[in-house]
């Protein structure tokens, strides 16, 4: 049982490049989230989804797009990466009473 | 604005000692409060979840307390082990909306 799996785990981008982070969960959860974690700050919500085909903006959505075409997958895209997007990104899925996190994806934008 | 504050920012203790981490929040109305442990380079893992009506909850050597009137919670770690070295994150969820409000965490280092 893999739980929540994120790929890639590490990536270095140049300013202006694009990329997609993939989150996959095998627990059949409806709710999925993308967060970013920066030093000295709590995790901040980027986008979330309450079910297949639905997405919504979180606290810091600018510069990111998401898609939830399949229930088990939640994709986070950066169309034109900026140095301010250097961060560790966490995906999570949820059932009532519990959040399950992936291992994180460390992104560096030069 | 809904906020969660944690103290201390970092803490160093010797193996076998006890410690207490603090969490203050302004989220209202309040639904539940969670404590997570995050090892370096890993994702957060749940330790406890407490609702409005619960004052204390234990998970092995971890005991969380909640005072919903003063909007404070604490996490007490008993007989610390080297493996307790991690960041401990307080997370509060309000009654409305999908968002969880995360504290910045307390970085605990347990030394031999």
Per residue in A52-86, pLDDT (tens digit) is 999 999 999 999 999 999 999 999 999 999 999 99
* pLDDT score of A107 more than 90: yes
Strands (DSSP E) along B1-112, which ranges? 4-7, 10-14, 19-25, 30-38, 45-51, 56-59, 62-67, 72-77, 86-94, 100-102, 106-111
Confidence label for B98 from pLDDT (cuts 50, 70 and 90): low
In angstroms, the CA A71 to CA A28 distance is: 7
Which of B53, B81, B54 lies closest to B65, judged by CA?
Answer: B54
Which residues have C-beta within 8 Å of that of residue B74, sequence separation ≥ 6?
B20, B21, B22, B23, B64, B65
CB contact under 8 A, B99 and A43: no
- Alpha-carbon distance values, B94 to A39, A83, B51, B101, B111 (Å): 24, 32, 11, 8, 36
Å from B29 to nearest chain A CA?
Answer: 17
* Residue linked to tokens 């997958």: A73
Q: How far is CA B25 from CA A38, B3, B103, in A?
A: 20, 6, 9
* C-alpha distances in Å from residue B8, one per residue of B21, B75, B92: 7, 12, 18
Q: Mean pLDDT lowest for which of B29-38, B72-81, B91-100?
A: B91-100
What's the distance, CA A54 to chain centroid?
15
Q: What is the nearest CA distance from B15 to chain A, expressed in angstroms? A: 25
Name the band, by pLDDT with cuts 50, 70 and 90, for residue B97.
low
Per-residue confidence band for B94, with pLDDT thresholds at 50, 70 and 90: confident
Query: Residues of chain A whose C-beta is under 8 A from some C-beta in B?
Result: 4, 31, 35, 40-45, 48, 50, 56, 58-59, 90, 92, 97-99, 101-104
Whole-angstrom distance, CA of residue A81 vs CA of residue A51: 27
Contact predicate B74/B64, CB 8 Å: yes
* Cβ–Cβ gap B98/A48 under 8 Å: yes
The residues that bridge with B33 in the sheet, in sequence order, are B50, B92
- B100 to A45: CB separation less than 8 angstroms, yes or no: yes
A20: enclosing H helix or E strand: strand A19-25
């Amino acid at each position: 049982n893999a739980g929540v799996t994120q790929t890639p785990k590490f990536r270095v981008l140049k300013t202006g490049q694009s990329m997609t982070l993939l989150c996959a969960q095998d627990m059949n959860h409806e709710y999925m989230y993308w967060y970013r974690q920066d030093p000295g700050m709590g995790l901040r919500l980027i986008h979330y989804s309450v079910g297949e085909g639905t997405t919504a903006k979180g606290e810091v959505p600018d510069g990111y797009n998401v898609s939830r075409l399949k229930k088990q997958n939640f994709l986070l895209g950066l169309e034109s990466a900026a140095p301010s997007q250097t961060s560790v990104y966490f995906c999570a899925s949820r059932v009532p009473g519990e959040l399950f996190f992936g291992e994180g994806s460390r992104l560096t934008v030069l | 604005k809904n906020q969660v504050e944690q103290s201390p920012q970092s803490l160093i203790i010797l193996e076998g000692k006890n410690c207490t981490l603090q969490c203050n929040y302004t989220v209202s109305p309040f639904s539940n409060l969670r404590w997570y442990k995050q090892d370096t380079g890993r994702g957060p893992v749940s330790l406890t979840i407490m609702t409005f009506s619960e004052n204390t909850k234990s998970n092995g050597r971890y005991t969380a307390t909640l005072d919903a009137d003063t909007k404070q919670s604490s996490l007490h770690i008993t007989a610390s082990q080297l493996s307790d070295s991690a960041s401990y994150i307080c997370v509060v969820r309000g009654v409305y909306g999908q968002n969880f409000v995360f504290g910045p965490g307390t970085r605990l280092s347990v030394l031999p």
